[in-house]
Amino acid sequence: MTHETSSRMTRRALLGAFAATAVTAAPSYTKAAGFLRGAGDIRRLRMTSPRTGESIDTIYWIEGDYIRDAVEEIALFMRDWRTNDVHDIDLRTMDIMAAAHNLLDSDEPYMLLSGYRSPKTNAMLRRRSSGVAKNSRHLYGQAADLRLRSRSVHQMYKAARACKGGGVGKYSGSDFVHMDCGPVRSWGS
CATH of the domain at 74: 3.30.1380
Give how far Cα 108 sits from Cα of 11, 21, 45, 138, 188, Å. 45, 35, 11, 24, 24
Chain CA centroid to CA 42, Å: 15
> What is the spatial distance between Cα 10 and Cα 36, in angstroms, rounded to a whole number?
30
pLDDT confidence band for 16 (50 / 70 / 90):
very low
135 is a domain residue: yes
> What is the spatial distance between Cα 4 and Cα 51, in angstroms, rounded to a whole number?
65
Q: Please, which residues have CB within 8 angstroms of residue 86's CB and are 6 or more apart in sequence?
A: 75, 76, 79, 80, 116
12 is a domain residue: no
Per-residue model confidence as pLDDT tens digits over 104-134: 999 999 999 999 999 999 999 999 988 888 9
137 is a domain residue: yes
Per-residue model confidence as pLDDT tens digits over 156-178: 999 999 999 999 999 999 999 99
Whole-number pLDDT of residue 37: 54
158 is a domain residue: yes
Q: Is the pLDDT of residue 149 over 70?
A: yes
Whole-number pLDDT of residue 29: 44
Q: How many CB atoms lie within 10 A of CB 169?
A: 18
Mean pLDDT over the full length of the chain: 85
18 is a domain residue: no
3 is a domain residue: no
CA trace torsion 163, 105, 88, 55 (10° rounding): -160
2 is a domain residue: no
Range of the structural domain that residue 158 is part of: 28-188
118 is a domain residue: yes
Domain count, the chain: 1
